[in-house]
Amino acid sequence: METFRESEVSTVTEQLISLVLNLSQEKQKNLLKELELELPKERRRHRREPFMTVVDFTSQGRVYREFVNDISESGVYIQASGFFSVGHDVKMIFSFPGSQENMKITGHIARVDNTGIGIEFKLSSVDNEELRSLLN
């Protein structure tokens, strides 16, 4: 397999951009379609839905109150600041609009970035039918 040094990658990128910019609009659209077919599809198994609600959660013995940004059948993304590590367990409590009951879900931190954390639900803690019905 061929490897590129950083300077070679930059040169290749610049050449690609230059070539694409010189193509007609129609050829650019066709190239885009071809590239989209070649690139890997979304890694997520479930579609994310925008979902803004307050969530109380614990991780590593600390209690937090933050906002859920989006949700899917397999997890949530929480806007959070602090020191979090991938793999740590999380216990969450939040409610859905229109629902009288709080949902208690456990999971683990699957992703950490500069604006928050992605939580993957533990399957045993989620009633997927209830969650699916609330998302639709």
pLDDT category at 125 given cuts 50, 70, 90 is low
Q: Given this model, what pLDDT does residue 12 score? A: 79
pLDDT for 127:
58
d(CA 121, CA 126): 7
pLDDT of residue 77: 94
Give the helix, strand, coil percentages of the chain, each rounded to 5: 30, 40, 30
The C-alpha atoms of residue 15 and residue 45 are separated, in whole angstroms, by: 35
**CATH 2.40.10.220, the chain: domain bounds:** 49-135
Average of per-residue pLDDT values in the chain: 81
User: For the whole model, what pTM was predicted?
Assistant: 0.62
pLDDT, position 45? 65
pLDDT of residue 110: 93
User: What pLDDT is recorded for position 4?
Assistant: 47
Spell out the residues 6+ positions from residue 47 whose beta carbon is closer than 8 angstroms to its own: 72
Q: Give per-residue pLDDT as tens, 23-77.
A: 999 998 888 888 777 665 555 566 778 888 899 999 999 999 999 999 888 899 9
Q: How far apart are CA 121 and CA 123, in angstroms?
A: 6
**Which of the following CATH numbers is that of domain 49-135: 1.10.10.10, 3.90.960.10, 3.40.50.2000, 2.40.10.220?**
2.40.10.220
* Mean pLDDT for the stretch of residues 104-127: 85
What percentage of the chain carries pLDDT values higher than 90? 35
